[in-house]
Amino acid sequence: MKTITTTTDLEKFCDECASQPYVTVDTEFLRERTYYSQLCLIQMAYPGEGDENAVIIDPLAKDLDLAPMYELFKNTDVVKVFHAARQDLEIFCIEGGVIPEPFFDTQIAAMVCGFGEQVGYEKLVRQIANEGVDKSSRFTDWSRRPLSDKQLTYALADVTHLRVVYEYLEKQLTKSGRSEWVNEEEAILTDPATYRVDPENVWKRLKTRTTSGRFLAVVRELAKFREITARTRNIPRNRVYKDDALIELASTRPKSFEDLNRSRLLLREARKGVIAEGILAAVKAGEACPNDDLPEAPPVRVKKNGTESLGDLLRVLLKSKAEKYSVAPKLIATANDLDSIANGFDDEVKALRGWRKEVFGEDALRLRNGEIALSATPKGVKIIEL
């Protein structure tokens, strides 16, 4: 097992990868104590068997610059293969300003190939490579050094078996003509905007029961201050204050340090110093927000009477289509998608766009509009034209 700790060795390995059709990539990181993920380990492999052509890269080594790896990620002749890649790509996008291209996510491909919803790496390795994965080291603190041989072996297995999984899924997609389905799903992950967090808009992620514009203005300012503080100090948002404390602050609108000390949910560290001053300033800014700049709550969509039965029929149709195409149902449409279609809220429904529309969406609309009916037969659900 080879561990790379110098830029020279990394450059040599990446030169070898550049002549290959693909490389498999995985990372180990920590995020419990920081705002940004702390990259602790990178595993990479190109075609071969066992540990052949596979390496561990130590990004914490003082003599290592990851520039050669980022250049490889830009090489469009080599496919970069990951499993459940969102967090890996976020790290590379933020740390290196690079998103690997071309890119392949085996979890997405597995859902398209009928392996179920959000299928795990261990299950794919067992079903496709007929191998087991030792998960005893999954709770390792990857920032500690030295790492044991057992821990390194565990980490390396995340890219060695991935070669077999990728080659199998890639052949299945080519055979079924569904590669474009996977590309459509991966487009979100390869868009840098996916990983940008705008402090002005983070308030939209919070769940609030109050739709008052003034209340939401205070929520917006408090969320913005928390985001900037967490990012600047590189600490988790909840270390500044938790969501429930933020909502409480927006409701009580403290005017002084004394008011802050009455909070039931605010952390002790947030009741004094810079954070306390920031909270009071955020509340004041929210209260002073001009009326024409007050945020608006998302429109409340009232469900139409009689749509529950239609929703049930859409679920039957979805299950039938998923079985026909051997695709995970949730990949085609979510429960919210079905409810939205039943109630005529068609905008922003993914199931009515792209390959999903062809597979399910068009017939879902026809069912809603009374143009088709469903019939149960011994061979499954049948569509009847009306």
Residue type for 85, please?
A
Give yes or no: residues 174 and 232 share one domain.
Answer: no
Q: Is the pLDDT of residue 298 over 80?
A: no
Span 284-308, average pLDDT = 85
Give yes or no: residues 284 and 317 share one domain.
Answer: no
Give yes or no: residues 271 and 222 share one domain.
Answer: yes
What does the pLDDT read at residue 119?
Answer: 86
Give yes or no: residues 107 and 8 share one domain.
Answer: yes
Q: Is the pLDDT of residue 144 over 80?
A: yes
Q: What are phi and psi of 359, to 5 degrees?
A: -75, -40
Span 21-40, average pLDDT = 95
Give yes or no: residues 275 and 354 share one domain.
Answer: no
| Residue 301 falls inside a structural domain | no
Give yes or no: residues 259 and 331 share one domain.
Answer: no
Structure tokens at 89: 């790509």
Give yes or no: residues 129 and 59 share one domain.
Answer: yes
Give yes or no: residues 177 and 223 share one domain.
Answer: no
Give yes or no: residues 37 and 126 share one domain.
Answer: yes
User: Which band of pLDDT confidence, cut at 50, 70 and 90, is reported for residue 304?
Assistant: confident
The region that residue 177 occupies, defined by phi over 0 for left and psi between -120 and 50 for alpha, beta otherwise, is: left
Q: Identify the CATH number of the domain in which residue 251 sits.
A: 1.10.150.80
Q: Identify the CATH number of the domain in which residue 101 sits.
A: 3.30.420.10
What does the pLDDT read at residue 132?
Answer: 85
User: For 182-205, what is each residue's pLDDT tens digit?
Assistant: 999 999 999 999 999 999 999 999
Count up the domains in the chain and report the number: 3
For tokens 């004094």, the residue is: 272
| Residue 95 falls inside a structural domain | yes
Span 277-303, average pLDDT = 90
Which residues contact residue 256 at a Cβ distance below 8 angstroms, ignoring those fewer than 6 apart?
280
| Residue 63 falls inside a structural domain | yes
Among candidate residues 245, 264, 293, the one where a domain is terminated: 293
User: Which band of pLDDT confidence, cut at 50, 70 and 90, is reported for residue 302?
Assistant: low
| Residue 285 falls inside a structural domain | yes
| Residue 213 falls inside a structural domain | yes
| Residue 9 falls inside a structural domain | yes
Among candidate residues 148, 177, 195, the one where a domain is terminated: 195
Strands 54-57 and 79-82: unpaired
What is the DSSP annotation of 345-379? Answer: --TT-GGGSHHHIIIIIHHHHHHHTTSEEEEEETT
The region that residue 370 occupies, defined by phi over 0 for left and psi between -120 and 50 for alpha, beta otherwise, is: left
Give yes or no: residues 12 and 140 share one domain.
Answer: yes
For tokens 């199998």, the residue is: 168
Kindly report each contact of residues 261-269 with a partner whose C-beta sits within 8 Å and lies 24 or more positions away, as own/partner: 265/241, 266/241, 267/239, 267/241, 267/242
In 3D space, the residue among 296, 160, 137 whose CA is nearest the CA of residue 219 turns out to be 296
User: Which band of pLDDT confidence, cut at 50, 70 and 90, is reported for residue 210?
Assistant: confident
Q: Record the pTM.
A: 0.90
Query: 365 vs 307, which has greater pLDDT?
Result: 365
The lowest-confidence range among 20-34, 106-120, 230-244 is 106-120
Please give the residue range of the domain that contains residue 253: 202-293
| Residue 262 falls inside a structural domain | yes
| Residue 302 falls inside a structural domain | no
Q: Is the pLDDT of residue 299 over 80?
A: no
What does the pLDDT read at residue 379?
Answer: 84
Among candidate residues 132, 164, 195, the one where a domain is terminated: 195
Span 102-122, average pLDDT = 92
User: For 39-76, what is each residue's pLDDT tens digit?
Assistant: 999 999 999 988 889 999 999 999 899 999 999 999 99
Q: Is the pLDDT of residue 29 over 80?
A: yes
What does the pLDDT read at residue 301?
Answer: 66
What does the pLDDT read at residue 223?
Answer: 98
Q: Is the pLDDT of residue 138 over 90?
A: no
Q: Identify the CATH number of the domain in which residue 349 sits.
A: 1.10.150
Mean pLDDT of the chain: 94
Give yes or no: residues 211 and 325 share one domain.
Answer: no
Residue type for 47, please?
P
What does the pLDDT read at residue 350?
Answer: 92
Give yes or no: residues 214 and 262 share one domain.
Answer: yes
